[in-house]
Every structure is written in C-alpha cells, then in structure tokens.
Amino acid sequence: MEEKNVPDHISMDSTSASYIFKPLHTIRLLTLLPGQFEAPISCELAGAALNAHTTYEALSYVWGNPQVTRKIWLQGHDFEVTENLESALRHLRPKKNSRILWVDALCINQKDLSERSSQVQLMAQIYGCASRVIVWLGQRDADVDISFDAIIKIDRIMKEHDREHISSSRSGLSETQRTARSHWSQELQDDRAMSVDTTTTSADPTTTCPKEEDLVSFFQLSSREIESLRKVFHDSPWWTRLWCIQEIAHAQEVILIAGDRSMLWKQLPSAPKIRKHTKFGGLGNLSSIFARAEVLNILRHRLKYGTDEERPFNWTHFSSLLLFFGERECSEPRDKIYALLSLSDTAQSSIIPDYTKSLSELCVVVLRFMIVENRKLDVLCTYEYENLIDRRFVTAYEAFSKIGQFFQDNHGPVLESFLGGQLRFQPKFKGDITFEQVSMLSDLTNYDQEKGCHYPEKGSFLSRDKEIIPSWVPNLSLRPFVQPMTFLGVGADSYKASGDTEVNDDIFHIQFPWLLRLNAFVFDSIAEISPRIDTEKDGWKSVVQDWKTKICLSTEHPTNADNADVFWRTIIRDLSLEASGRLTAVELDCVRAILCSWFEVPPDENSRFEDRTTDSMSASADPTISRLCKVLSNTLTGRCLCLTIKGYLGVVGGRSRAGDLVCIIQGASIPMVLRRFDDFYQDARNKGIGLGVNLATANFFTQVGVGYIHGIMDGEAMVAAEGPEIGMERIFLV
C-alpha cells in the first residue's frame, strides 16, 4: 500500500484498534454516512464478501503528507487521516444517502503486517470487482476548470470531425485537417515500442508532430489551456503514483473527480482514442500530456484482451514492468514490487506479498524468480548503480572486515552466523578506515551498551535499518543509474555473447540463497579504463576524442576489423538507428559521417551533449541524428571506455577498474564485469564453512557491472571456451 509507515499520532493502541478493526476474513467496506458538506465526517466499517454481488466503489488517491492530518469519526471513535483523504471523503459524501467505498487507509488495519500482506494479494480483485474506481485528483481550482473544459472542447471537435469525415471525401478536408492528418500519419508510422525511458515528462522536441499553432488551430486550444491540461493530467501527484497502475488497469469503469468537477476516464483524449476515432496518430505535444493515461489504457487492453502483439515491448516479463514503472512513486520500498504483481500472471502466482520480509530478502526472492522464469541471466545485466553504499552486501562486509573482529558465542563459522543473524562483534579499529565505513557500522547494527557489542538484526542480511544485499541482487526499489544495455522484453535478442545457452540448473545454493553458482569463461581483463563519462557535463567530448585517437593509433584489433569502425560501433553498442537489432553496413556509413563531423574537429570544452558545433548537427535537422544522439547518450552516460589485455575495446559500468575481469556467463546475453572476492573468505575457509565445495580452490566473485565488448557480442568467445584447454569453470557470485 502507498503509505505504510503511519505516524504514531495517527495510529491507536491495540485496545482502541480492536473496536475498529474486527478480525478480517474477506474485506472491509466503508460506509460513508450522509451529511452536509461542512459537517464532521462519520464512517462505519463492515466485513463483506469479495464477489460480483457486492456493490461498492473503490477510491484511488494519493495519501499525501502523513504529518498533516484531519479528524474523522470511524466506528464512533476519533480517527486521524491525511488531509487529502479527508478532502476526498468530504467531497464524495452524499447529503442524503450513504455511500459504500473501499479505501485502503481505512479498510485495512495498517499496523497488522499479516493483514496488510493478505489484503495486498487481493488488490487486483478489490479494484476489479468495484462497480467503478474513483480517481481523486484533488480540490477544484482554476487549472481544473480550464483543463476539464478543454477536454470537453477536444471531445466535441473530434466528434464533429468524425461526422465531417463520414459525410465528405478525403479531398474535401480543410487545409488545417490535411495538415494535421499529414503530421499525425507520419507520427503513427514512427510509433515505436516503448522502452524504459519513454515515460518522459515532456515531449521530445525532435519528434515529427503537430506544431503548437496546428493544435491551437485544429483544436482551438490556447497556450493557457495546454498548460492547465499538463498540470492536471500529467504533473498532478496521482499520475506519478505507482499503485494507481493496477488500480486503473483492473477497473471496470473509472471516473476522475477534482472537487465537484468530474469526467469519465473514457473521455480522456489518449492517443489510442485519437487513432480509433479520427484515424490520426498521436497529438504531438498534446499527446505527451496524456502519455501516462495511454500507458494505463494499454494495460487495461492487455488485461482484458491479452497481450498487444503489435508492440515488441513484452509486458509479460516482470523485469520489464519493474523497469518501465520504476520512476513511479510509493513511500514503502517493497511496494515497488508488490504494486506490480497483479500485472504479471507468473509473478503474481510465485511472489507472495509479505511485509515481514525485509527489502533485501524480497529482492533475492524476486531475482531468483525472474532467473527461473526466463532461464536467462539478463536481469543481472539490467541494473547498474553509481555506487554500492547502502545497496550491496559486499560493501558492508568490506567495512566490517576492516573495522571489527567477528566472533560468536559458540565460536561457530563466521560467515554462516553473519548471514543467519545472532552474530556479534566488538569493534577493534585497525587498518585504513573511512568515516563513511565507521558511520555504516553504527547505521547497520543495533548496539548493546551493556555488553558492548553490535548486533545485526536476526533474519536479515545485515539490518532492516539500511538494506544491504548481494552484489548480484539490485535494489529493486531504486531506478537504474544508467540506461540498461539489455533487458528482458526489449532488445534481449540483440546480443548473444554466450550463444543460445541457458542458466545451469544448479544455479541456486539451497543453504545459502545469497550465493549463485555459475558456469563462466573468464575471457579477458581490463587493462586500461577511461574516466566515467557524463554527456551532460563539460569535457566528455575530449575523453571520447582522446580514446578515438588512442584506438586508431593502436595495433590491429583482434578481429582484424578497421579500428575506426570498431570505435564508432562501440560507442553506440553497434545498435541500429532505424529499428531493433544491430547496425547495418549502410547505417555505419551514415553514422561514420555524422560522428566524424562531431569528433574530428577540435571539441568545445564548454559545450554539453546537446550543443552542436555546426548547423548540420542540429538534432531537429534530421531524425537520424536525433536517434543517434539518444543511442550515444544512453551508451556512454555513467559508463567508461575500456581496453582489455587482449586488445578489445568496450564500454563498461562506471564502477569498473583496471584488473576487473571480463567474463562470459552461461545464460547471459552480454559479458559481465566481475571482481575476485577470495580475500574476504579467507577466514571462512579456515573455519570450513559448508558450501559443498573445496574452499581452497573455489572461485568467489562479486558483480561489478556489465559491458559491451566489441568482437565478442555474438558468441565468438564461446568458441574459445569450447576448446580443449580452455572451457567453462564453476564460479560463485556473492
């Protein structure tokens, strides 16, 4: 649910709560008792069966600031709710008759973790069985009036155009209509599959779309109306809320309410509606306003009729859903996962909401599920972060290795006790310790002053205060720091570094869920690496140009390809600019010409990525240049160029460093960058932890990131791995 950490002044003691929240066997429904607008709000709760015979409306809203509350009467007792919920109830309350609602903050005992877990499992059914879902956008203001009136105007003009279209031939269209049709037909042809960065907050200025004057002319919209439409139907907090995705996707009927203004969801001029009723494409800048509504319409269509086969974006992959909706907001990190489960049949049946699990434990469960579901490791290649602090198990272990001496009452194995709880240690400072590591010791543990020991909380990897998880498990509550090189659902077939292999059957260790057993080929290691590149900051162009000079002057590439072409292909990951797939020879000629014009001239150190040194480089001059800019930025931003010992050029994660290993992993479509972790297990080896392997010879690694290494992205390294002397070896990823 959206706001689970309810402040103390909202919650009640267990005795008071028992009068309000009776034991729950199905669901509770809220009866909003009638009253005058200014009268105190009074409600009652009652259990109800969740089926088609139960009539109620479900409220979809933003909780708002939990510190700003208002008082209502619930079951005859004072009960504090957020200001936004109180406003919604006040506006929805009838004057004469009662209204039956389902409201998460009132129908679920938020302090009962077991009840919260069970009710979240029913969320899709709760919103799907409701007679309609009420979207509360907030109180009425000038922008609400202007935007609602503008939608009525758009709807009227669309209907008038439909009648004109039926009664007249195409040649009879007005000049404005022909102009709009030309723009929109082109945009319809350019409509591409949604990728993880398409949920933008503004329109792409390089997209072929109607100009503002065309919109004003055809739809008779002023700039003020367009501004109000964006504020109410794009920028309003409800549109950025994660839980609203499933609430609307499963709804039978939806009504949007702001104060005393309302309209049906189907009145929104989303792009699919425009295409259906006017045969036009999207609405350009106006379409971007309703982009979030369009995504919800696509989901509603998929859930009702099945997958939209015309779109390559695969909604059935849970990893795709996590990435695509990663920017949506929710206050409870675990809800980044739970709020999307009902949109994936396989995930819903395999991952059970459980608020007693820590985020780290949940992320391990989800990653294991996605690996098993897809038989691939591409999900491990998706998330890259700027750093590991507060995000990985390894960082804390490194800190503890320097800060404290571990011991246990029964002198058992250090690592087992560390991961299972009940480990205690006394800090005996030694070696080079950073202030950050000292602070982490305090943050990650509970200190027993009487015994003088720090205790990680039992049952978690470290502490529930700050979640630390294995190097291969991303914090799924965070959005990736950089654009993924590949992920399940889109572009996963572009690369086949490990050929057509799938993950090995014994990848998971039964006793240690944080450990992965992989079959890997350590192909190469990084010899030289550039500074991390940020195309939005000064100096990035010099880095790229220096490396281009370095590569062109170096010895022949291991594949015997032209060094300059290797460089051009590498900095855009060899991706096609026209469609999904790889760069063609014809496209390479175009890319070479454009990039040479950018990098052969002395770079302007003060120019940012979007600044061009000549008019011919203007992104608006050619859509090909625009697409090239996007691919180049997505490839380089947050990453580094690297050169391997064997002479291969690549792009790797920003945390990589010289000496890191380039590995081909069975079941992974792109190479992984790994770092040896053996030193940290010396104590574990000495005490003989039972991992089922010979610790004296076992290979332990942490995942640093992934990379595009030109010349081995299509399985070339696998040929060497299958040789008589070199082959796959068993490694452990921690």
Q: What is the pLDDT of residues 688-710, one digit of tens each?
A: 444 444 544 568 888 888 999 99
Tell me the two tokens of residue 588: 């390479």
Check residue 723 and give its pLDDT: 57
pLDDT > 70: percent of the chain: 64
Strand 516-529 with 639-644, pairing: antiparallel
Check residue 165 and give its pLDDT: 58
Residue corresponding to tokens 């409220």: 59
More confident residue, 393 or 637: 637
Check residue 241 and give its pLDDT: 94
More confident residue, 364 or 493: 364
Instruction: Give the three-state DSSP class for 11.
Output: coil
- pLDDT, tens digit (0-9, with 9 covering 90-100), for 272-311: 554 444 334 334 456 678 888 888 988 888 887 765 444 4
Is-contact 245 325, C-beta < 8 A? yes
Distance of CA 564 to the CA centre of its chain: 35
Burial (Cβ within 10 Å: 0-12, 13-18, ≥19) of residue 139: middle
Q: How many CB atoms lie within 10 A of CB 586?
A: 9
More confident residue, 552 or 497: 497
- pLDDT, tens digit (0-9, with 9 covering 90-100), for 605-643: 434 333 433 333 344 447 788 888 888 988 998 899 999
Check residue 226 and give its pLDDT: 86
Distance CA 535, CA 304 (A): 42
Check residue 66 and give its pLDDT: 87
Is-contact 609 633, C-beta < 8 A? yes
CA angle 145, 146, 150 (to 5 degrees): 115
- pLDDT, tens digit (0-9, with 9 covering 90-100), for 78-137: 999 999 999 999 999 999 999 999 999 999 998 888 999 999 999 999 999 999 999 999
Check residue 410 and give its pLDDT: 29
Of 34, 32, 12, 31, residue with least CA distance to 21: 12
CA–CA distances in Å: residue 216 to residues 210, 219, 281, 548, 570: 10, 6, 17, 47, 44
pLDDT band, very low/low/confident/very high, at 179 (cuts 50, 70, 90): very low
CA–CA distances in Å: residue 240 to residues 2, 199, 213, 329: 12, 10, 29, 6
Distance CA 708, CA 661 (A): 13
- In sequence order, what are the beta bridge partners of 257? 136, 262
Burial (Cβ within 10 Å: 0-12, 13-18, ≥19) of residue 346: middle
Strand 69-74 with 453-455, pairing: unpaired
Q: How many CB atoms lie within 10 A of CB 652?
A: 28
Span 446-453, average pLDDT: 46
Span 643-669, average pLDDT: 94
Strand 661-665 with 649-653, pairing: unpaired
Looking at this protein, which amino acid is placed at residue 132? R
Q: Is the pLDDT of residue 8 over 80?
A: no
Of 685, 706, 682, 707, residue with least CA distance to 695: 685
Tell me the two tokens of residue 369: 């599920």
Q: Is the pLDDT of residue 412 over 50?
A: no
Q: DSSP assignment of 396-451, as one string?
A: HHHHHHHHEEEE-TT---HHHHHHHS--EEEE---S---HHHHHHHHHHSEEETTT
Of 493, 430, 290, 463, residue with least CA distance to 361: 463
Q: Report phi then psi at 256, rounded to 5.
A: -105, 130
Q: Is the pLDDT of residue 317 over 90?
A: no
Query: Phi/psi class of residue 708: alpha, beta or left (left: φ > 0; alpha: ψ in -120 to 50)?
Result: beta
Burial (Cβ within 10 Å: 0-12, 13-18, ≥19) of residue 155: middle
Check residue 222 and give its pLDDT: 84
Q: Is the dihedral of CA 549, 555, 557, 561 positive or negative?
A: positive
Tell me the two tokens of residue 46: 């009652």
Distance CA 458, CA 443 (A): 15
Tell me the two tokens of residue 183: 């723009």
Q: Is the pLDDT of residue 41 over 80?
A: yes
Check residue 33 and give its pLDDT: 97
Q: DSSP assignment of 173-225, as one string?
A: --HHHHHHHHHHHHHHHT-----TT---SS--TTS----HHHHHHHH---HHH
Distance CA 716, CA 264 (A): 56
Residue corresponding to tokens 């509770």: 28
Strand 516-529 with 99-102, pairing: unpaired
Of 664, 661, 677, residue with least CA distance to 713: 664
Which of the given ranges, 132-136, 205-209, 436-440, 612-616, has the highest pLDDT on average? 132-136
Check residue 474 and give its pLDDT: 79
Strand 27-32 with 42-48, pairing: antiparallel
pLDDT > 90: percent of the chain: 33
Average pLDDT over all residues of the chain: 73
More confident residue, 399 or 260: 260
Check residue 413 and give its pLDDT: 33
Span 321-348, average pLDDT: 89
pLDDT band, very low/low/confident/very high, at 464 (cuts 50, 70, 90): very low
Q: Is the pLDDT of residue 244 over 80?
A: yes
Which of the residue ranges 44-58, 219-233, 236-250, 518-532 would you say has the lowest mean pLDDT?
A: 219-233
Is-contact 523 720, C-beta < 8 A? yes
Span 364-391, average pLDDT: 74
Check residue 82 and give its pLDDT: 95
Is-contact 132 100, C-beta < 8 A? no
DSSP 581: S
Check residue 21 and give its pLDDT: 53
Please report which helix (H) or strand (E) contains residue 665, including its range.
strand 661-665
Q: Is the pLDDT of residue 219 over 90?
A: no
pLDDT band, very low/low/confident/very high, at 714 (cuts 50, 70, 90): very high
Distance CA 634, CA 632 (A): 6
Q: Report phi then psi at 45, rounded to 5.
A: -115, 145
DSSP 556: P
State the Rg of the chain over Cα: 29
More confident residue, 45 or 207: 45
Which of the given ranges, 126-140, 400-414, 677-691, has the highest pLDDT on average? 126-140
- pLDDT, tens digit (0-9, with 9 covering 90-100), for 587-602: 888 888 888 887 764 4
